Amino acid sequence: MDRDTAQPDVDAFPGPNGRKWVEFHGANAAPSEYSHEFVWDITREADGPFVTDVDGNVLLDFTCHIGAAPLGYQNEKITAKLREFDLVEPMKIAGQDLYFGAGPTPEESAVPGSSHLMEKLTDVSSQYGMDTVFLSNSGAEAVENAMKITHDYRAPSKYGITFDDSFHGRTLGTLSLTKSKEVYTRHYPEISGIETMPFCADRGCTADTCDCGFFAGGGSQLRNSLSPEGGHINPDEIAFLTLEPIQGVGGYRFPSQEFMQEVADVTDEYDIPLVVDEIQSGVGRTGEIWAADHYPIEPDVIASAKALRVGATISRSEIFPSEKNRLGSTFGGGDLLGSMMGTFTLEAIQEHDLLANATRRGTQATELLREDTPDYVEDVRGKGLMLAVEFDTPDRRAAVVAEALDRGLLTLGCGKKTIRLLPPLDSTEREIELGVSIFLEAVDAVGASAKAA
Ligand SMILES: Cc1ncc(COP(=O)(O)O)c(C=O)c1O
């Protein structure tokens, strides 16, 4: 398959083999969050955003596995580097308990490992003075460790601040910060002291125009809650304030500069560690390495995962506890392949100028998506290739996802009535044009049908 000429080609979706795989999988798997009955056939042709399923359907994947496969499938930018690596056993190692290298010295290493990944991560986070990393296995662990280190740094502290509609993971600790769907949290015990603030729902929001409830009472709810006169939270007892610079699961919500400025001012004023969750928005997705780079904020801790292939909590050395054994994880960053792919991904972003590409292709996509959209498209928004189209109703959104799939385009819902589009960071002009034209056909088809009425 050649991505320069490939086209989506769908016979029936899901096909008979897809159904068999889903049934086989479901026989033993706990119900979870499978978004489509798309079954990738890892033995068949794929290139960049194009992928073949177990029925031979060729699909254009604008989900990038929710950002966890940032360059799509079989991407030569990664596979060429991986070919240099002969598999070793054990490949999954106790990497937080034992060191490893691929040659006599780090400089002569045949391939990069977790030490190189941490070096790269501090390079791309040096604008925030960050020089230290703790590697883990997942996004939730990256956030959990951010909670732990900031609790230590600010000890004794008893509060943490989160925002409405946020998603920070599904471990019990991170669920206490997750305020999106109720199904994630119902009946589970919460850690104490978590205070929730309104998240900015309007990217043009100012103190004068705000109707999300953040700016209120002549200041902001955040500022007022910490005020010595009338506030109910002692700022000295706050371990962290955490936010997604752009909310993912909550609906690809882009906050206003003024909202971010207020968050920055308040956290600065009281020295509250600002933890940004970049698990969905980071590693180049928005046209900057971190979405935080678009805003007037100075994070103290960055939590990353997904596109990085491992979890990472990145910060300044003084924020991490110095005591041995205070942090740990058997496999954290010790999956040789995960660390290597994370490093190769960061290298590919630099070597192929993919931040600029994401910005260019994102602008192309939003311009095309905004052309002649019908009334029931309420908003088209994006930064880089973190793109969203919001509809008037959840049913309309679901119908568009289904119509797009029938035409061979994989998309994903988020929030209540929004579709998110995450094309690969190295998408070409042709791929964006193709994907958007299929998407707009699906939008038209839904408008013409009774499905969403
Ligand atoms: C913003 C954000 N934070 C945290 C997580 C949790 O990551 P993981 O599923 O790797 O634990 C996710 C996953 O979707 C996410 O989008």
Q: Residue with the nearest Cα to atom 3 of ligand 1? A: 168
Going from the Cα of 453 to the center of ligand 1, the distance in angstroms, rounded, reads: 33
Residue 85 contacts residue 111 (beta carbons within 8 Å): yes
Return the pLDDT at 440: 97
Reference 321, options 443, 155, 165, 438; nearest CA is 155
Return the pLDDT at 143: 98
Helix (H), strand (E), coil (C) string for 320-355: CCCCCCCCCCCCCCCEHHHHHHHHHHHHHHHHCCHH
Q: Residue with the nearest Cα to atom 7 of ligand 1? A: 139
Going from the Cα of 14 to the center of ligand 1, the distance in angstroms, rounded, reads: 27
Return the pLDDT at 97: 87
Going from the Cα of 169 to the center of ligand 1, the distance in angstroms, rounded, reads: 5
One-letter amino acid of 151: H
d(CA 453, CA 393): 9
CATH of 114-351, one of 3.20.20.80, 3.40.50.720, 3.30.1380.10, 3.40.640.10: 3.40.640.10
Q: Residue with the nearest Cα to atom 10 of ligand 1? A: 139
Residue 225 contacts residue 160 (beta carbons within 8 Å): no
Q: Residue with the nearest Cα to atom 5 of ligand 1? A: 169
d(CA 139, CA 452): 35
pLDDT along the chain (453 residues), means of 10: 97 94 96 91 98 98 97 97 92 89 96 96 98 97 98 97 98 97 95 96 91 91 94 97 97 97 98 98 98 98 98 98 94 89 98 98 98 93 98 96 97 97 98 98 87 57
Return the pLDDT at 452: 57
Whole-angstrom CA distances from 264 to 220, 245, 442 are: 12, 12, 41
Pocket of ligand 1 (CB under 6 A): 138-140, 143, 167-169, 244, 248-249, 277, 279-280, 305
Check residue 348 and give left, alpha or beta (phi > 0: left; psi -120 to 50: alpha).
alpha
Q: Enumerate the β-bridge partners of residue 60.
A: 50, 409
| Element housing 429 (H / E) | helix 429-448
Going from the Cα of 186 to the center of ligand 1, the distance in angstroms, rounded, reads: 18
What is the best residue among 35, 162, 280 to mutate for testing ligand 1's pocket, by most ligand atoms within 8 Å of CB?
280
Return the pLDDT at 95: 86
Contacts with 196 (C-beta within 8 Å, 6 or more apart), sequence order:
161, 162, 163, 164, 179
Q: Tokens 């990217």 sit at which residue?
A: 203
What is residue 40's DSSP assignment? Answer: B
What is the best residue among 65, 136, 168, 283 to mutate for testing ligand 1's pocket, by most ligand atoms within 8 Å of CB?
168
| Element housing 122 (H / E) | helix 114-124
Going from the Cα of 279 to the center of ligand 1, the distance in angstroms, rounded, reads: 6
Going from the Cα of 168 to the center of ligand 1, the distance in angstroms, rounded, reads: 6
Return the pLDDT at 291: 98
The domain locations on the chain are: 114-351
